[in-house]
């Protein structure tokens, strides 16, 4: 799955939402998140994000953000 990270906080762009083929972005308190159960790992959103906030979950150190994304997407 891809994961939205800190740089998204208070970002006003929605470019990622527009390109996602499966509509798996959800709104958190002050950022967008990706539902890890719905993301098909296509990678289309990553280069579209002006804040470079979207990363593949294969990057290191994303445990906290994976939690935030799952929580706001109401996976739990």
* H or E element at residue 56: strand 54-56
CB atoms within 10 A of CB 70: 18
Q: From CA 52, how far away is CA 63, in angstroms rounded? A: 18
Compute the distance between CA of residue 56 and CA of residue 29 in angstroms, rounded to an integer.
22
Residue 44 lies near ligand SF4 (rule: CB under 6 A): yes
Instruction: Please tell me whether residue 42 binds ligand SF4 under the rule CB under 6 A.
Output: yes
Sole binder of ligand SF4 in the list 6, 37, 41, 59 (CB under 6 A): 41
Among 32, 33, 45, 55, binds ligand SF4 (CB under 6 A): 45
Single residue of 6, 14, 18, 22 touching ligand SF4 by CB under 6 A: 22
By CB under 6 A, residue 39 contacts ligand SF4: yes
């Amino acid at each position: 799955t891809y994961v939205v990270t800190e740089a998204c906080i208070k970002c006003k762009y929605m470019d990622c939402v527009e390109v996602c083929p499966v509509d798996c972005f959800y709104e958190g308190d002050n950022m967008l998140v990706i539902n890890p159960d719905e993301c098909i790992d296509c990678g289309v959103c990553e280069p579209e994000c002006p804040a470079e906030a979207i990363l593949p979950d294969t990057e290191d150190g994303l445990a906290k953000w994976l939690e935030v994304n799952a929580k706001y997407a109401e996976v739990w």
